[in-house]
Amino acid sequence: MSVYWGGGLIALTLFRLVLAAFIPLAPDEAYYRIWALAPAAGYFDHPPMVAVWVRLGMALAGDTAEGVRLMGPLSALLGTLLVVHAAYCWLQQQGTQEQAYKGAIRAGALLNGTLAIGLGTLVMTPDTPLLLFMALMLWALVRACVGQQRSMWLVVGLAAGLGFDSKYTALLPVAGLVVWLLVTKDGRKWLITPWPWLAGCVAAICVSPVIWWNAHHAWASFLKQGGRVGDWQPARVLTFMGELLGGQVGLASPLVFVFFVAGSGLLWKKRDSFSLLLLCMVALPMAVFVQHALGARVQANWPVVLYPTAALAAARVTWPWWKGASFFGVGLAGIVCVQAAFTPFRLSPHMDITLRQMGGWPEFAHVIATVVPQGAPLVADEYGLASELAFYAPGRTVVGVEPRWKLFNLSHPACGGEAYLVLSHRRQGPPDVRFFDVLGTLPDQSRSRGGIVADSYSLFHVRLRCPVAGQMDDAVYLPAGRR
């Protein structure tokens, strides 16, 4: 990588790290922070790798927004380098060194031109470690299948297993790899060697803690994610298909999306051994997403698992405007990040997702802690709201009340304790009588940024009720940590 592009990547990473410190945590990020403070081999929503990422970042940068997000920009940096080197090693076998070099830079630039990478480096999600391990798997596959370094299959297995520990969608490109091994001549040649089988063993070892956790928690995480397979609303097929296409145009950024499609087309046109491998790793997951969209919504971030592979395929697309496509995507991500950090544009919460998700949390939590009597616990029955209060409310005990908290190894509050329930106006109805006796009310409070209200909340003085004598199974004390 030249000094020019290497310096640009480092500068982009530093810019992301700086912004990460200024932007308040989104509710899901605050929730993953709770995961990091309550380590486990699995959680209701996802596998545990995002909690490991947050824990590593907090160990280096403290219990701060910067600490929660630290591994995002660093993961994107390392993942980019892996994709660049993978593209170089692959293209070097097919052309000149100069062509390979240009293609490698193109792959890295296009990957960073996606909004999924640009925003995903600043908002910690399970996709953050997932993308790194998908990049690692591609790098190892190039070294194994193109460079004939057979031992790299062990790294393939490691990356596949750790990708599964990040997000279950990692199974889809891995399934594409298995299809290639079974149906192509070159793939079957590998199957008569021990290396793919050893890779499978390494992957199985990596995923075994997640399977063990699910087995001891009624398969909660597998059922939650796998239960979406049964969704079926055929009357909304056109809506769901439009959302799938629109989501990918948006998250890839429009111009980069065109390169991704063109790169996938070249895989089919070339159809050499490694091109077929990449094609299987793209086509099978996309077929699954399209099939799912025939009867249910495909979340826009699900196909992000394919972006490293799509960027590698796009390395061979030599259109001269690839730089503009990349810079356009980086610019779009930058506008969103600057809006989240500094609010240069006054938009309503319906138009500004950064306001809805991130706006005003520190100030709101401070106001809540001020108006509620000193020492009284705060309660929330939304996991995101409870997690935000646990992070931002200074010196307050916070109780989360929701069935998902049963799966956490955290202490439960006793019956009959008094607290103050914070309830978003977006939630319909009064406090849940299964959990609370209402003793009184306090004035409503708003969460805002730059004078624009993101949401409003009711405050109720409540007594905690227990369906089982002695403790509330659905409630836990959330760890406050240190900031």
Q: Which string of DSSP letters, residue by residue, matches 394-414?
A: TT--EEEESGGGGGS--PPPP
- pLDDT tens by residue, 117-142: 988 888 999 999 999 999 999 999 99
Q: At what angle do helices 254-270 and 307-314 cross, to 10 degrees?
A: 70
- CA 158 → CA 83, 203, 326, distances in Å? 17, 5, 30
Residue 96 has pLDDT above 70, yes or no: yes
Residue 470 has pLDDT above 60, yes or no: no
Q: Residue 442's beta-bridge partner residues? A: 459
Q: What's this model's pTM, rounded to 2 decimal places?
A: 0.94
Residue 428 has pLDDT above 90, yes or no: no
**Biggest distance spanned by C-alpha atoms of the chain:** 76
Q: CA quadruple 342, 425, 410, 164: dihedral positive or negative? A: negative
Residues with Cβ within 8 Å of 144's Cβ and at least 6 positions away in sequence, in order, are 150, 151, 152, 153, 156, 195
More confident residue, 363 or 4: 363
Percent of the residues in the chain that have a pLDDT greater than 70, as a whole number: 96
| Long-range contact set of residues 56-61: C-beta below 8 Å, sequence gap at least 24 | 57/124, 58/33, 58/481
Q: Report yes or no: 398 and 477 within 8 Å, Cβ to Cβ.
A: yes
More confident residue, 472 or 185: 185
- pLDDT tens by residue, 143-166: 999 999 999 999 999 999 999 999
Q: Which string of DSSP letters, residue by residue, matches 13-53?
A: HHHHHHHHHHSPPPHHHHHHHHHHHS--S--SSS-SHHHHH
Return the domain boundaries, the chain: 3-342, 359-478
- pLDDT tens by residue, 29-65: 999 999 999 999 999 999 999 999 999 999 999 999 9
